[in-house]
Chain A
């Protein structure tokens, strides 16, 4: 069974640009969550999607957005990139929801903003 797949793995963007990251969850999983990981802040929850609907949202500005497709694949978008957006972005999937079920993480997308 394939795990959670995130693309691209590494990318470098310029301040002011926008970026889209993709996540394919484990087959059959309907919940996809996104996290930002930085050395000083640990894991910061961005949002969770379940059956194409955003179910939970963290405390990030509106520049961070996401969506989920009918096949459960998810994308997150960051517009008007800032230097502070440089981080590892992790996607996680679970059967029914992140709050009470085991969640499975992808390898992450390393974003560097210069």
Chain B
């Protein structure tokens, strides 16, 4: 079965420190990978995506993510965290295989950046 895992329900980092939010996946075919962020009481906002090409993808608000095919991972990173980065982060994956074209979502990781 195709799945996406965000192994950490919550990540806590100090402001100014690097942050990593993890995502691993299990899908057939070549995956398309996405990160979205949700601020309190808001809808989700697109951060970045990997379709093909360079494994390191840069996105909004200084975030980046690295696609690792061998480890089937797509971890979200930022060199220096801000308090305003505190939010809920979702990883999503879709596989370009046959007619199964649904996005598969992780359960989300709550990021808390402490001043």
Contact = CB atoms under 8 A, between A and B. Distances in A.
B32 A107 contact: no
B102 A100 contact: no
Contact of A104 (B46, B101, B105, B107): B46
Interface string A67-99: 000000000000000000000001010000111
B43 A98 contact: no
Given A42-B106, A42-B107, A99-B32, A56 B101 contact: yes
A86 to B, nearest CB: 15
A108 B101 contact: no
A92 B44 CA distance: 9
Contacts of A97: 101
B101 A99 contact: yes
Residue from A4, A56, A100 having most chain B Cβ neighbours under 10 A: A100
A37 to B, nearest CB: 9
Contacts, number: 55
Nearest to B42: A107
B102 A45 contact: yes
Contacts of B43: 4, 90, 92, 105-108
Given A43-B90, A100-B51, A100-B96, A105 B102 contact: no
B102 A90 contact: no
A42 B102 contact: no
Interface string A28-60: 000001000000011101001000000110100
Contacts of A104: 46
B14 interface: no
Given A45-B105, A103-B46, 10 more contacts: A45-B102, A55-B101, A92-B44, A98-B94, A98-B102, A99-B96, A100-B51, A100-B94, A105-B44, A107-B42
What are the nearest 9 A-B pairs in CB distance?
Answer: A105-B43, A99-B101, A42-B107, A99-B94, A105-B44, A43-B105, A107-B43, A100-B32, A102-B46
